[in-house]
Amino acid sequence: MESKNNKEDKSIDEQYLMSIMAGSTKNESPNQEPQSRQEKQEVKQKIKSKKSIGNTYAEQFLTHHTMTKRGDKSIYIRPEYHERLSRIIQIIADDQIPLYAYLDNVLAHHFETFEKEITDDFNNKYRPIF
């Protein structure tokens, strides 16, 4: 039998436990808002990285693509990068996705991940003429 003292004050802070399971190592209250811009960005990055945790690299970048044809523009990349990207597609994707679609997936992920930072930097440097 459990004593009366063991039954009292057994409330569990579920938010705190969830934050620990999500990788938070700070001893701060889970309801406390991040104070600095850096902390806010770190929280945002953790959230975005959690979205893709369920997906493997191949599921994220090598199994689907939204492009139906190659675009009209050419881009130039280092020969060693071209070779590396081609090998990734050949081996991991079993040559089932074209290089342009793989690059499109990688860039889409990059823009999704860094959208806020890119927008902030752009707005800080853009000065209207009038």
The tokens of 117 are what? 């930072």
Distance CA 18, CA 12 (A): 11
pLDDT tens digits along 26-74 = 444 444 444 566 665 665 565 555 455 567 888 888 876 666 677 778 8
The tokens of 33 are what? 């808002």
What pTM was estimated for this model as a whole?
0.53
Segments making up each domain of the chain, as ranges:
36-125
pLDDT tens digits along 79-128 = 999 999 999 999 998 988 889 889 988 998 999 999 999 999 999 888 77
